Structure 1
Amino acid sequence: FATYERYYPAIGVSHEGVLEAFLDMESHPLEPGESLVGDWLYLGTCADIPKGLCEFADLVARQMQVQLKPWEMPTGHCSWYYYLDRISEQTVAGNLAALSADRDKLPIRYIQIDNGWSTEPGDWEANARFPRGMKAVADDIRAQGYLPGIWLMPFTAARTSRLFQAHPDWFVKNWKNDEIYGTPSLDFSVPAVREHIFNLFRRLSHEWGFRYIKLDAVIVNLAPGRHRDQHWTAVMNLREGYRVMRSAVTEDTFILGCTSPLAQSAGVVDGMRVSCDIFDRWEAVKDVFMRVFKRFYYHKRLFINDPDCLIIRTSANEDEECRRPCVRNAEEIRTFVTAMAASGGILMLSDKMSLLDRSQIELLSKLFPVNTEAAVPLDLMESNVPGVLDLGRRGRTRIMALINWTDVDRELRFEINRGHVFDFWSQRYLGLCDHRIRRTLAPHASALLFVTDDAPAAVVGVDDCLCPAVEQEYRDGVLTASFVKPGEKAMVAAAREIQSCEGGRARPVETAFGRLYEVTAVRGARTFRITFKPE
C-alpha cells in the first residue's frame, strides 16, 4: 500500500499465485448509499529488491507527506532491561553517575526512565519510589549534561485508574453495546480525550522538562470497535493520538513509538521500534535483527529506526537488582555490537553501568561516533536473517558486516572492486583483494571489514571505531589523513617506506601483504601527514 491512514492492510499470495490485497474494515456498518474509501494501493516491479524497497518507502513518505526533522541520532541509557519496573530515584542516580564518569568514552545524549515510575497506567503521576516527583529527577539529569527521557502508555488506562473510573465514556466501545472493547482504548474522536492528552504531554515536556518520550504498548491498546465518531477507525485513532501528543510537546522533544503499527505511524512520530523486545539469550538477538535488517528501508524515510536496546553484560556484571539475567557469551556479545552498528538507528544502552568493567566500556566506546545509515542487506532474498550487510562508504572506504546467525560454520561472501581489506575485530590487514571476498565464520560470529580504494598509500583501518569516516588524500608521495577519535591508531598500507610522519608516530607492523604502518596521534593531533621515500 502507498498510504496507511485509514485501515490495517494485508498483502497475500493465493495457492493459485494470485496476488491479493486486503483492508480490515473493522465491521463498520454502512448506511444505504454510503461508501467506504480505503488507502491507496501501489503495484510496481523492480530488478533490484533492496533498491526497490527504498524507492517504495520514498513513495509512501511522499504520499503521506512525511517531513522528518534533522535529528541528531538518539543515543542514551534505558532502565528497562536491567531493572524492569523496579526502578527508583536511586537507580537513576547510580547510572547517571557512572555514565558521567565515562562521558569521554560514551558520549550519549539521553537518560530514559522506563516503566516503573508512575502510579498506574492512566494516572501518570510519580509513585512512592520517586518522592520528589519527575520534574526533580529530570532536573538532576539535566544538571549532569544529559537530556531526560520518560516512558508511558498513552493510549490506555487501567480499569482501576482514576481516569477510567471518572471517564468510562472516553474509551472505545463494542459495536453492539456500551461495554468497553477489550483492553481500554482511549477514543481520540472525543474532544475531551484530545484535550486531556494534550495537557498531559504539555506537562511532560514543557513543565517537567522531558525531551525523549517513549510511547509503549500501542498496538495492543488500539481497539477496532465503536468510536464516538462512528466513521473513525483504529488507524485513524492512532494517528490522531500521535498528532495530539506531537502538538503538545516542545520542538526539541523526540517522540518514539514502541510496539506500534509501523507504516501507519509515518509522519506522526520521530522514531519507531522496528523489532521485538530483546531478551537474555542469543536467540533473542537473532529475532531482533531478523526484523531490523528486513525493515532497513524505513530508516530516515518514514521515521528513525529503533532496534531496541544493546545489552553487553554477563552474569559477572549483575547483582540482586538485575531482573533479566543474560547468558550470551563473548562472541555473541561482539556480534550483537556489530549488528547494532549496522542498524544505523537509535542506540540505547541497558546495563547497570557501574558494574561493567573497563574492557566492556571500551567495547561500547567503539560504537562512537555512531553510524546513522541503515546497512543494506545484500542477502535479503536468500537468508531469513540477513547476514551480508553493506554499511556503505565513508570517504574512500566501504564498510561490510558479515554475521553467521546459524549454529554451524558458514561461508559468507560479497563482491568488491579492487581494494585494501582490513578486519576490524581481529585488527588484521588482509591485503589487496579483487572481485570477491569470502569469509568462513564460526557459529554466532561476525566480521567487520573495511574495503578501501586501491592507492599507493591509504588508511585502511582504525582500532577504536566501528564506522569511521576517515578523511584522506594521497598526492605526489604524501598521505594526509585524519584521526577519527583522540588516541586512536590508524593502520596505513603503503607501497613505499616512510620518510617522515608529522602529527603521529609511525611504526612498521609485520604483515604478509606488503608494508603496513601503525600511526598513533601525538600531542592530541587530529590529522597526520606522511611523506614516503622516493622510489
Structure 2
Amino acid sequence: MQFTYELGSFSFFDTSGHGWKNFQFELNGQLSSSYTELENKITSTGGTVKLAGQGVNETIHFTTDAAASSLVVSRTITNTEDSPLVFKSVSDGILSADGEICFDEPFSPIDYYKLRYFHSSNIKTEKFPRFRVEHPYVKCIPYDAVHFNHDEANHFPVFGVTADRDYVCTLVQGDLNQVQFERSWELGLDGISESKLAKTYKGIQRFTLSNGFSLAAGERVEVSRVFYQLKYDTHPQYAFDDYVAKLNQHHNFQGKNSKMLREGVFCTWNYGTFGNITEDLILNRAKAMAENMPNCTHFLIDDGYQALRNSYNNPNAGIDSFYPVPVEGYDKEKFPNGMKIVADGIRDLGLKPCIWLSPKVYLSSPLAKEKPEWLQKDKDGSVRIIGQSSFLDLSHPEAREFYLKVLDALFVQWGFEGVKYDFMTQWFLKEDSRFGHKSGIEWRDFAFSEIRKRIGDEGFFMTCIAFSAGNPFPGLNADSYRCGFDIHDGTWSEQVRACSGTLAQTMIKGKDTFLLNMDSLGFGDNPENEQFFRLNWCYITQGILEFGGKLEEHTPEQFTIFNKLLTNADRGNKVHVLDDKAFTGEPLPEILQVRYEDDGPMKQAGVKQHIAFFNWSNESKLITLSLDKAQLSAKEQLSDFWSHESITVNGQYLCVELAPRSSQLIEVK
C-alpha cells in the first residue's frame, strides 16, 4: 500500500493502482490545497499535518494499516479568530480536477455498467411521508450524482464501489464517528474530475436539524473520522466486516452484552391485541408466559396504556399523555391499580417488565396547546413535523426537564426495566426540523443515554419506527432496532412487506453493533406453511426473539414451538446470504446460513450451522446449494430443525423442494 500527502491532498492506493488519489478537504468553500502548512509529520505510514486557513487551523491525522489495506483519517478544526466561526460547508473527497478513484483495468464509456456501488439506501429510503423498498443492493453508479446516507432510514454509514462482477477490488469508505456531525456522500459518473471513472465522489459532514454549526473563539471540534479500505476478492456481504471491527476499536456497543443474545421478549401488540389492553389482560398474559415460556424473560406492554389515547379526537397518544403530571400518564379505567402495581405484578412472576413510549406530541393535546414553546419546529417555524404531531424541542430547558420527568415516571416511579421507543426517528433525523441549538445527533444521544441511565446496563432498550437500516451509533445505548414493517396479524402480504428492505441489516453481525428486530414471532389465523415461514425467517436472521399473540389461548403445541426457538437462542451471529440474486435483483434471499462461533451455546451443544431455505413465490420451487459454498462436507449430519428427520445429501449439492410460500430450516451437526 502507498500513502502520500502533498500540498493539502492525500492519496491511498496499492501497487496495481486501485485506490483514492488527490483527495482534498474543504471548509466554507476553502480547499486544503490553499492552506498554509504549519507542521508536517507525515511518513509513508501516516502521521499528522497541521494547516492554517482563513480564521482556522486544521489538524488532520492519518493512520494506515498495511495488513488490512486500510486508512483512518481524523480531521479537527480550531477557530483562531476572536469571533464565532460559522460552518457553512464541510466536505472531503474529489474536490478538484485531479482527484479520482482508481481501478487497475482500462475503462471506456461502454464499460461504465461495471462500475457499481452498494449501500443500505439501495435497499430502502425513507423521507416522511415517503417510504419505499428499493433494489438492487449492488447498483450501477448513476451519471447524475446521487446523495445518500442522509434520509430518515438510519442508514449503515459505509459504502463500497467496485468495477467488475467478481469484486476483485472494492473501495470501502465508512463513518467512524457520529457525535455531532452526520456523514453523507455524493457519487456520480459526471462531475468536476478529469477521471475516466466516477467524477463525483465526495463526503459531506452535516450538522443536522440545525440552522448551522458555530465554533466559538479558540474552540476545536473533530468534524470527521473516516475509514478507507481496499478489499480484495470480497463479496459485498463481507466488504464491511473490517469497518465494523474498526468501529469496535473506537466505540462500545450494546449488542455484545445484551440480554437478548440468549433470552426473549414478549410484546402485547401483534396477532390480534394491538391497543386493546387492560390491567387484567396484561397480568393474565404475563402469567401464561411465565408458566409456559421459561426462557422468555421480558414482558413488554405496548401502546394502549396511555391516559390520552382516544381523547381529543385523536386515537393516538405519545409523550403528551404524561402532561402535566408524568406519573399519572396512564388510563385509570383500564389500569385501576396503577402502572407501578402492574410492573410489580410482572416482576413477581419472575419477569422483567418493559413498556412502550412514543415521544410524539399530538397538536390536539393539552401539552401542545398550553406549552407551544416546548414544541419542535421546522425550518419555516411550523410545529407540524409529522402530520398532526410534533416533538419536544429538547433545547428548551422546560421541555427537556419534562422529558426527564417522564423517564423518571416510567423507570423509577413505575419501575419498568425496558422500553420500546417508537416513532422517534424523525425527531432526530427529519431534515427540515430544527432544535434551538445542538444537532439532531447530539439530542438523539442525550435522549437515549438518559434512558440507559435509568434502566441500567441490564435493562432492555429497543428503538422502532422509522425502521432502521442498521446505523450502529444508536447502539451505543440501545440493544435492538426494528428493521422492518409491523407484522400485525402475520398474513402473507404482511410477511413479505415486513421482510422487504431488510437485506442490508441482515448481513450486519449484531453482536458487534446491536441486534436487529424483525418484529414479533407468532401464529395468527394463517396457514401452517406461512406460520413456519415466519418462524424460520425470524430465527435465521439472528435478531432478538420477540413473541406476540394471545398466550392465554395458545395450545401446548404452540408453546413447544416457541420454546424450541428460545432453547436454541444464540443470537447476533453473522448471517450469510448464499444466493447472489438477492444482491443484484429483488432483495428477498432464498438461502440464509448461520455458522456458529466456537464459544457460543449452539456450537457447544454440537450444532455447527443452521441453513434456511425460503420460497417467496406462488409456485413450487427447487432450490439448490453447493456444499462448497455452504462450507459443508459429507461428515456433517443434516436434519430438519423442527421434525429432526435426517436429510441425505447426494453429490455436491443440497437440494430442497419447497411448496409455495414455504420454507425449511436445517440443522447441521
Cα distance in 1 for partners of 2:371, 2:301 equals 28
Would the aligned equivalents of 1:198 and 1:247 in 2 still touch at CA under 8 Å? no
Q: Which moved more, 1:159-168 or 1:400-409?
A: 159-168
Aligned: 1:147 with 2:352 = yes
Structure 1, unpaired ranges of 5+: 315-327, 453-535
Q: 1:439-463 deviations in whole A, cap 9, x for unaligned?
A: 23222221222333xxxxxxxxxxx
SS of 2:532's partner is: helix
Shift of 1:170: 2.2
Q: How far, CA to CA, are the matches of 1:373 and 1:270 in structure 2?
A: 11
Deviations 1:295-321 (A, max 9, x none): 13151222122221112121xxxxxxx
Q: Give the aligned partner of residue 376 of structure 2.
A: 172
1:274-307 deviations in Å (ceiling 9; x for gaps): 2221133213223333444531315122212222
**CA separation of 1:9 and 1:94: change in aligned 2, threshold 3 A:** same
Work out whether 1:282 is the aligned partner of 2:492. yes
Change (3 A) 1:108 1:266: closer
Which of 385, 389, 393 matches 1:187?
Answer: 393
Alignment of 1:451 onto 2:668: yes
Q: 1:418 to 1:69 in 2, by over 3 A?
A: closer
* CA distance in structure 1 between the aligned counterparts of 2:288 and 2:215, rounded to whole angstroms: 66
Q: Which residue of 2 aligns with 1:421?
A: 638
Query: Which residue is 1:136 aligned to?
Result: 341
Q: Is the contact between residue 292 and residue 343 of structure 1 (CA under 8 Å) also seen in structure 2? A: no
Q: Deviations over 1:9-64 (max 9, x none)?
A: 54565366735655565585459999997544444343133332333233334444
Following the alignment from structure 1 to structure 2, what is the Cα–Cα distance between the partners of residues 98 and 265?
33
CA deviations 1:247-284 (Å, max 9, x no partner) are 23344321111125541413122221122211332132
Aligned to 1:85: 275
1:257, 1:269 within 8 Å by CA — same for their partners in 2?
Answer: yes
Q: Which amino acid aligns with 2:440?
A: A
Which deviates more, 182-191 or 305-314? Answer: 182-191
Q: SS of the counterpart of 1:145? A: coil
Contact 2:383–2:390 (8 Å) recurs in 1? no
Q: Secondary structure at the match of 1:266?
A: helix
In 2, the alpha carbon distance for the partners of 1:24 and 1:380 equals: 36
Q: CA deviation at 1:191?
A: 3.4
Contact 1:294–1:386, Cα closer than 8 Å, also in 2:
no
5 Å-filtered alignment, 1:315-326, equals: none
2:26 maps to what in 1? none
- The offset of 1:114, in angstroms, is 0.5
Instruction: Look up the equivalent residue of 2:495 and give its one-letter code.
Output: V
The 1-side partners of 2:546 and 2:375 are apart by: 33
Closer, same or farther: CA 356–293 of 1 in aligned 2, 3 Å: farther
- Choose between structure 1 and 2 for higher RCO, CA contacts under 8 A separated by at least 6 residues: 2
Q: What amino acid is aligned across from residue 226 of structure 1 in structure 2? A: R
Identify the residue that residue 295 of structure 1 maps to in structure 2. Answer: 505
User: Do 1:170 and 1:187's aligned partners in 2 also have CA atoms closer than 8 Å?
Assistant: yes
> Which residue is equivalent to 1:405?
616
* 1:209 counterpart SS class: coil
Aligned-pair CA distance for 1:334: 0.9
Counterparts of 1:416-495 in structure 2, within 5 Å, are 416-419=632-635, 420-431=637-648, 435-452=652-669
Could you tell me how far apart the structure 1 residues matched to 2:516 and 2:553 are?
A: 29
Q: Is the 8 A contact 1:413 1:437 kept in 2?
A: yes
Whether 1:268 and 2:442 are equivalent positions in the alignment is no
- Asked if 1 retains the 8 angstrom alpha-carbon contact of 2:264 and 2:566, the reply is no
Distance 1:217 1:355, change over 3 A: same
Distance 1:386 1:55, change over 3 A: farther
One-letter identity of the residue aligned with 1:203: A
Contact kept in structure 2, 1:378 and 1:389, CA below 8 Å:
yes
Gap change, CA 1:270 and 1:310, over 3 Å in 2: same
Give yes or no for contact 2:207–2:213 (8 Å, CA) kept in 1.
Answer: no
Q: Which amino acid aligns with 1:421?
A: L
> What secondary structure is seen at the aligned counterpart in 1 of 2:447?
helix
Amino acid paired to 2:298: Y
Question: Are the structure 2 counterparts of residues 57 and 381 from structure 1 closer, same or farther at C-alpha, using a change threshold of 3 Å?
Answer: farther
Give the residue type in structure 1 aligned to 2:413: E
Structure ranking higher in strand proportion: 2
Distance 1:290 1:371, change over 3 A: farther
The aligned counterpart of 2:519 is: 308
The residue correspondences of 1:211-360 to structure 2 (distance < 5 A) are 211-222=417-428, 223=430, 224-229=432-437, 232-260=438-466, 262-263=470-471, 264-280=473-489, 281-296=491-506, 297-314=508-525, 328-360=526-558
The residue type paired with residue 75 of structure 1 is: G
TM-score (norm: length of structure 2) = 0.59
* Unmatched tracts of structure 2, length 5 or more: 1-173, 191-196, 309-317, 323-328, 597-602
Alignment: residue pair count? 434
**How big is the shift at 1:80?**
0.8
- Among candidates 94, 116, 120, match of residue 304 of structure 2: 116
Contact 1:5 1:39 in 2 (8 A): no
| TM-score, normalising length: structure 1 | 0.73
Alignment-derived partner of residue 365 in structure 1: 563
Percent identity, aligned pairs only?
19
Aligned amino acid, residue 624 of structure 2: L
Amino acid at match of 2:241: C
Q: 1:164 to 1:245 in 2, by over 3 A?
A: farther
**SS in structure 2 of the partner of residue 344 of structure 1:** coil
Name the residue aligned to 1:99. 289
The alignment status of 1:392 with 2:608, answered yes or no, reads no
In structure 2, the CA distance between the partners of 1:435 and 1:421, relative to structure 1 (3 Å rule), is same
CA 1:166–1:227 in 2, change beyond 3 Å: closer, same or farther?
same
Instruction: Kindly indicate whether residue 254 of structure 2 is the aligned counterpart of residue 44 of structure 1.
Output: no
Q: What per-residue deviation string (whole Å, max 9, x for no partner) do you get for residues 482-526 of structure 1? A: xxxxxxxxxxxxxxxxxxxxxxxxxxxxxxxxxxxxxxxxxxxxx
Q: Alpha-carbon deviation of 1:432?
A: 6.2
Given that 1:181 and 1:225 are in contact with CA atoms closer than 8 Å, whether structure 2 keeps it comes out as yes
Residue 209 of structure 2 contacts residue 439 of structure 2 at CA under 8 Å; is this kept in 1?
no
Distance 1:39 1:129, change over 3 A: farther
Q: Quick one: structure 1 residues 205 and 14, their matched pair in 2 at CA, closer, same or farther if it must change by over 3 Å?
A: same
1:196 to 2:424 alignment: no
